[in-house]
Amino acid sequence: MATQEEVIQSLKTVPYPGFSRDIVSFGLVREVRIEDDLIEVNLALTTADQDIPLRVKETVEQQLTRDFPTTQEVNVVVAVSRPAQSQSQPSTPGQASQPTANPLSGVKHVIAIASGKGGVGKSTFATNLACALNQILLKEGKSQAVGIMDCDIYGPSIPLMMGIHQQPEIEDNLIIPLSNFDIEVMSMGFLVDPETPVIWRGPMIMKTIQQFAQNVKWGDLEVLVIDLPPGTGDAQLSLVQTIQLDGAVVVTTPQPAAVNVARRGARMFGQVNVPLIGVAENMSYLEMPDGGRSHIFGEGGGPQTAVELQTGFLGQIPLDTNIREGSDHGTPIVLAKPDSLPAKAFHGIAVQVLDELRKPDQA
Ligand code: ADP
User: Does residue 97 form part of some domain?
Assistant: no
Cβ of 229 below 6 Å from ligand 1: no
CB 127 less than 6 A from any atom of ligand 1:
no
Q: How far apart are CA 198 and CA 305, in angstroms?
A: 32
Q: Specify the amino acid at residue 110.
A: V
Q: What is the pLDDT of residue 67?
A: 95
Our answer on whether the CB atom of 228 is closer than 6 Å to any ligand 1 atom is no
Residues 202 and 337 in one domain: yes
Q: Bigger pLDDT: 79 or 195?
A: 79
The C-alpha angle with vertex 230 and arms to 227 and 235, in degrees rounded to 5, equals: 80
CA 261 to CA 90: how far, in whole Å? 33
292 part of a folded domain: yes
> Does residue 247 surpass a pLDDT of 90?
yes
For a pLDDT cut of 90, what percent of the chain falls above it?
51
Residue 98 has pLDDT above 60, yes or no: no
User: Which of 80, 9, 16 lies closest to 39, judged by CA?
Assistant: 9
Asked whether residue 111 is assigned to any structural domain, the reply reads yes
Q: Please tell me the distance between residue 125's alpha carbon and the centre of ligand 1 in angstroms.
A: 8
End-to-end CA distance of the chain: 53
Q: How confident is the model at residue 99 (pLDDT cuts 50, 70, 90)?
A: very low
> If you take atom 22 of ligand 1, which residue's CA is the nearest one?
319
Share of the chain above pLDDT 70, in %: 86
Is 278 found in the same domain as 206?
yes
| Closest residue to atom 15 of ligand 1, CA basis | 324
Q: Is the CB of 129 under 6 A from ligand 1?
A: no
Measure the CA–CA gap between 274 and 73, rounded to whole angstroms. Answer: 37
Residues 161, 35 within the same domain: no
Residue 102 lies in a domain: no
Taking residue 316's Cβ as centre, other Cβ atoms within 10 Å add up to: 19
Residue 143 covered by a domain? yes
Are residue 75 and residue 112 in the same domain, yes or no?
no
CATH number at 64 reads 3.30.300.130
Last residue of a domain, one of 36, 65, 81: 81
Range of the domain at 127: 107-362
Q: Which of 43, 64, 81 is the last residue of a domain?
A: 81
Q: Is 341 in the pocket of ligand 1 (CB under 6 A)?
A: no
Angstrom distances, CA of residue 33 to CA of 13, 27, 57, 74, 76: 18, 17, 16, 10, 10
Cα of 120 vs centre of ligand 1, distance in Å, is 6
Residue 155 Cα to ligand 1 midpoint, Å, equals 12
Same domain, 74 and 161: no
Residues 159 and 20 in one domain: no
What's the mean per-residue pLDDT of the chain?
85
Q: Which has the minimum average pLDDT: 4-13, 76-85, 138-147, 339-348?
A: 76-85
Domain finish residue from 34, 63, 81: 81
Torsion angles phi and psi, residue 262, rounded to 5: -65, -35
Report residue 94's pLDDT band, with 50, 70 and 90 as the boundaries.
Answer: very low
Instruction: Output the CA torsion sign for 362, 308, 48, 151.
Output: negative
CA–CA separation, 336 and 73 (whole Å): 67
Residues 159 and 223 reside in one and the same domain: yes
Residue to substitute in 327, 333, 344 for testing ligand 1 pocket (most ligand atoms within 8 angstroms of CB) = 327
Among residues 229, 264, 232, 225, the alpha carbon closest in space to that of 248 is found at 225
Please tell me the predicted confidence (pLDDT) of residue 96.
32
Query: Is 316 a domain residue?
Result: yes
Highest mean pLDDT (candidates 32-36, 93-97, 191-195, 359-363) = 32-36
Check residue 192 and give its pLDDT. 64
Determine whether the shortest distance from the Cβ of 205 to ligand 1 is under 6 A.
Answer: no
User: Going by CA atoms, what residue is nearest to atom 8 of ligand 1?
Assistant: 121
- Among 257-261, 310-314, 332-336, the range of highest mean pLDDT: 332-336
Asked whether the predicted pLDDT for residue 345 surpasses 80, the reply is yes
Question: Is 332 near ligand 1, meaning CB less than 6 Å away?
Answer: no
Q: Number of structural domains, the chain? A: 2
Asked whether residue 89 carries a pLDDT value surpassing 70, the answer given is: no
Of 350, 345, 281, 323, the closest CA to residue 120 belongs to 281
Is 17 part of a structural domain of the chain? yes
Same domain, 212 and 292: yes
Pairing of strands 73-81, 183-187: unpaired
Rounded to two decimals, the pTM is: 0.76
Q: Are 159 and 165 in contact (CB under 8 A)?
A: yes
Q: Is residue 100 a part of any domain in this protein?
A: no
Ligand 1 mean position, distance from CA 122 (Å): 7
Predicted local distance difference test score (pLDDT) of residue 342: 97
Say whether both 225 and 358 belong to one domain.
yes
Average pLDDT over residues 122-134: 97
Position in ligand 1 atom list of the atom nearest CA 327:
16
Residue 71: per-residue pLDDT: 87
Q: What is the pLDDT of residue 231?
A: 77
How far apart (Å, rounded) are the C-alpha atoms in residues 323 and 345?
Answer: 12
Q: Which atom of ligand 1 is nearest to the CA of 282?
A: 23
CATH number of the CATH domain containing 227: 3.40.50.300
Least confident of 212-226, 231-245, 290-304: 231-245
35 with 164, same domain: the answer is no
pLDDT at 72 over 90: no
- 275 close to 22: Cβ distance less than 8 angstroms: no
pLDDT at 93: 32
CA–CA dist 32, 91 (Å, integer): 32
Atom of ligand 1 nearest to the CA of 161: 16
10 and 134 assigned to the same domain:
no
Considering the domain architecture, whether residues 133 and 257 belong to the same structural domain is answered as yes
- The residue whose CA has the least distance to atom 27 of ligand 1 is 324
